[in-house]
Amino acid sequence: MSKKFTLISITILLLQLQFMISGCTFFLESDESLVRNNQIFVLCEGNFGYSNASLWSIDPNDEHVSGPIYRELTDNLLGDVGQSITYHDNKLYVVVNNSHVIRVFNISGDISFDTNIELPNASPRFLTINENYGYVSCWNLNAILKFDLNNISGTPDTIPIPGKPEEMLIDGNNLYVSLVLKQDWTSGDQVLKISLDDHNIERSFPVVPGPGSLVVHKGNLYVSSTYYDETWNKYAGLSRIHLNSNIVDSKDLGPTTELVGDLIIFQDHLYRINGTGIAEVQQDLSLQTSNQFIDKSNGYSAVGFDDMLFFGTTDFAAPDTVYLYNDRGDISAEFQIGGLPGSMLASSESVD
């Protein structure tokens, strides 16, 4: 932006933005259930404070992009900071963080806007679903809200969390939650294991500060971390929780200037996105940056299935580009979408 905001506005903007970005930059959601035939959905965050998040769909077969979907359907803007996107039972749930709302789309036929789940001042981050219940991590509430998706206008249950809950992952009857920040907004360093039966915190795992992305791979829960010191120098790390033994391995990767973000699984390999592409995670939790799977600057998010990998890049202003790579690491198509493609949703069943 041109420096239109005055002193106080800049204060708000910058201070809030640190926390927004530190937790959301590399979110990726890969849903294993059917989304739509021949489509992936891309949620663009937009610029914080500008309410220009946008939702797009990409058909890789005919290389067609549709969107911005919400604006086309309603003539309104999607909102401020498109945080995450989740699919369940023919519906898309789009969490718009700084608009404090979840926008629900029906995608059983032609996509249509269904309803809003208003969460005033909750700062919702991620939604995960288990047996028709949606769990929404909310920073400003220091809690997870549990919704009955068959009755979303009903009052949700509140699961108090000792910090700012970020990503969630359901494994069996447990909900794993990364605490990216403590209640005082300093970096968190825990992953919680919560029982879905009684919502009690059963265990807390110490990890590298700033835990965000969670992925289960070969019986282990991998946790990516990013944190900052007082002068906003960035550090990264990776942790691995052995789900059977509850043993935690951690590796602090030290200071970095590259974007180091989310974890993805592609063709049974675990990768982490960084500013120069996608690097495989080694057994010792370091990244194989010398011979990366993909070398491309400005990486921001990715999703893969079968032999295709979609890789979102950004220069932090619309339009940005999503590249389609094949399993040899070659670009086969590219798609222009809105600014900051932070989340993608796809399914191996949806693209043949």
- Chain residues binding another protein by CB under 8 A are 1-19, 21-22, 25, 46-52, 54, 68, 71, 76-77, 79-80, 98-101, 120-121, 140, 184-185, 228, 231-232, 234, 259, 275, 316-319, 336, 338-340
Pairing of strands 101-106, 91-96: antiparallel
Residues 101/108, Cβ–Cβ less than 8 Å: no
Q: How far is the CB of 17 from another protein (least distance, A)?
A: 6
Strand partners, 345: 41
Q: How far is the CB of 148 from another protein (least distance, A)?
A: 24
**CB 121, min distance to another protein, A:** 7
Nearest distance, CB of residue 7 and another protein, angstroms: 5
Determine the Cα–Cα distance for residues 133 and 127; give it in Å rounded to an integer: 10
Q: How far is the CB of 341 from another protein (least distance, A)?
A: 12
Torsion angle, alpha carbons of 310, 171, 270, 210, to 10: 90
Instruction: Give the distance, in angstroms, between the CA of residue 5 and the centroid of all CA atoms in the same chain.
Output: 28
Query: Cis peptide leading into 255, omega within 30 of 0?
Result: no
Single-letter amino acid, residue 56 = W
**In this structure, are residues 288 and 53 in contact, taking their beta carbons and an 8 Å threshold?**
no
* SS3 of 101-148: EEEEEECCCCCEEEEEEECCCCCEEEEEEECCEEEEEECCCCEEEEEE
Kindly state the smallest distance separating residue 67's Cβ from another protein, in Å.
9
Cα distance between residue 333 and residue 314, in whole Å? 16
